[in-house]
Every structure is written in C-alpha cells, then in structure tokens.
Structure 1
C-alpha cells in the first residue's frame, strides 16, 4: 500500500458505523490498516460491520449510544478520549421529513441534537488528546444540504449547514496544532435516509436527472475520500468540504 494512505497502527472511531455510509467508511479504514471503534444507537461487537472489519485482520469494538442523549454522548466522549484515537469520523445522523410549516418542533430539536450538537460535544472531548500530542484526523459527514436548502427537511438542512461551519471553525483553531478537520458531503446515496426519495418515482427521477453520473451513490463511493482525509495524504488539507455526489453540485 502507498504509505500516504496507510493507516496501519491507527485507531479510528466511526459513529453511525452499523450500516450505510458509516459502515462503508469503517470497512474502508480497516482495509487501509486501522483498528475500529464503531458507535451507533444499536451497535454490537458481533454484527456485520464487526465481522467485516475483523475479516480485514483488524480489531473492532462496538458502543451502543443514543446520539439524542447529551449525557450519554458526553460520557462516551470522555471514555474515548482516554483511548486517544488517531481518527474520528463523525457520521452519526438522522433525518425527519415534513413541510416546514408543519414540521414538529420535537423533530427539529432531535435532528439538531443528533446531527449537530452531539457532533460538537463528542469532537470537543476526543480532540483534546489529539491536540495534546499534536496529531489527529477529524472527518465530519456533511451533505449536499450543507450548500443547498433541500425540500421538507428544515432541521436536517440547518444541521448540515452547521456542520460545514463547525468544520471550518475547528479547522481554523486546530490546523496549526496538527489536527486536520475536514468534511465529506455525500450526494444522494442509496441508504435508509433516502429510502423515501427512492420510493417516490417522481422525486427519484428528478434526482437522477440532475446527477451527471446517472445513478444513486453507494456507501462504498465514500471509501476513498474517507481514507484520504484520515491518512497522511491529507496533511495539508484543512477546513475542506469534499463533495462525493456524482457531479450534482457541478450541474
């Protein structure tokens, strides 16, 4: 393996690792040599992502944490900080769909907590040992809606716009201290979060017509960007938000 992308001996925390994009990222980091701590609401030590990581010859530990529970996230962050991971992939997230005028406030609160506030709470704690030693990689999962407004997802659009700003703010503070903070902005990826769109023939067709690549993305389409931002190949990349969208934003 090219040493620039070699993660041998690194410990990576991946949130939202049980399925979809998070699972693909965890498996890609393991293939590059990293040991994985996977965190999701229903994460286990013996699920499919755990098996896939171990099949790569790497170790896997699972933590089950509800990212809507602030106290649980802070407790997790303190425990993970004691492990001093080299890489943090902030991928956990949720989405709720309803027109803005009818969007329940409890949905708004939960999406902002899971997709934005918990990301900061966890990062703040896990970053401290990185800053102390002068090295670390932090990668957020942003979104196309970090750049656009979307339809019927006001909480999600607000949270992902916040992630873009948080990525830049942390990068401004931490780049000179050896910690790279960046984000990946997935396009329309075939995951549980986009099932409602794919099941709507009109919306699905409109989305596909806008994507130059002509297809929905797959989780493993994020693998290369995740390994790049977690590795030494990105040592001079800071505050970047990299779209992986089949060309959507360039259309």
Structure 2
C-alpha cells in the first residue's frame, strides 16, 4: 500500500508541481493511531503509518507551489451489509459504543472531509492528518 502510493505520487509529481492548486488526499485508518491489546492489526497499522509519512513528505514537496497533501483518518465507518469489511449488526453496535460520539461514521462524513480538503478553501492546510472518527483516537 505505501509503495503503491509512492509510485503514484512520484509519477504525478511533475504535474502536481506545475499546478497552482495541486491537492492530494490519502485515506488512512485509525489502526495507525489507536493501540489496544488484542485490538490492533500490526501490518495494517504499520502500512497506514508509512502512508501518512509519505503524504507528509509530499506535502513538503508541494508546499512551495501552493499545493497540499493531507490524510483523512476514518474511524469505524458504516458499510453496506454483505460488502467487504461489513460486520454483523451486533458488531456494528459494539463499534459504535466504543466511539465517544456513540455512532459510526457514515461514508458521507468521510467524503465531505475529502471534498473540503480538495477545495480552494483548504489551500493552507497541508501535511495534516485529520481524524474523522467521532473522537475514537482520543481514547
């Protein structure tokens, strides 16, 4: 995963540097920030942490041209039943209960954050790792 992002960013870098409004947003995961016994996914945590480091490096490269690179870190996010990563209703309730806001993120919560970070209004935000997790990573 980090290698694929690096390859993609490297291929796009010349065009990104020529743009006056380059924007890159990567999607990470709370598993790179929340470590609890029996609750971590070590390989995923390491991969997502590496992805976040690569995005910060890209942010530095794009900064001089006014471009930005940021990371959105979703928490537990509702998925349609039967889809990859979906859980049974009891597991979703447990995930929501583990969240300080007491609810799961909706896909639109994540999409709205990405949309904002891609906008002109977010042009001065770069190198940020933004949790969209209802406070999950505060615990």
Both structures adopt the same fold (TM-score exceeding 0.5)? yes
* 1:242 aligned residue: 130
Select the structure of larger CA radius of gyration: 1
Deviation at 1:219, TM superposition (A): 0.8
Deviation per CA, 1:129-168: give whole Å up to 9, x if none. 1202343000000111231346352221111111111121
Match of 1:190 in 2: 78
What is the Cα deviation at residue 213 of structure 1? 2.1
The 2-side partners of 1:238 and 1:159 are apart by: 21
Counterpart-to-counterpart distance in 1, 2:123 and 2:131? 19
The answer on whether the counterparts of 1:188 and 1:194 sit within 8 Å (CA) in structure 2 is: no
Q: 2:103 aligns with which of 210, 215, 235?
A: 215
Q: Does 1:122 align with 2:122?
A: no
1:131 equivalent among 8, 17, 21: 17
Is residue 2:71 matched to residue 1:180? no
Partners of 1:142 and 1:153 in 2: CA distance? 13
User: Closer, same or farther in 2 for the Cα pair 1:168/1:226, shift >3 Å?
Assistant: same
Q: Which residue is equivalent to 2:28?
A: 142
Q: 1:193 to 1:242 in 2, by over 3 A?
A: farther
Distance across 2 between alignment mates of 1:165 and 1:200:
34
| CA contact 2:78–2:105 (8 Å) conserved in 1 | yes
2:88 alignment partner in structure 1: 199
> What CA distance in whole angstroms lies between the structure 2 residues aligned with 1:215 and 1:156?
23
Q: CA RMSD in A?
A: 2.1
Q: Does 1:165 find its partner at 2:50? A: no
Q: How does 1:34-73 map to 2 (within 5 A)?
A: none
**How far apart are the structure 1 equivalents of 2:115 and 2:50?**
23
Q: How many residues align?
A: 134
Q: Which runs of 5+ in 2 are unaligned?
A: none
Q: Secondary structure in 2 aligned to 1:217?
A: coil
Q: Secondary structure at the match of 2:71?
A: strand
Cα 1:133–1:217 shift into 2, 3 Å? closer
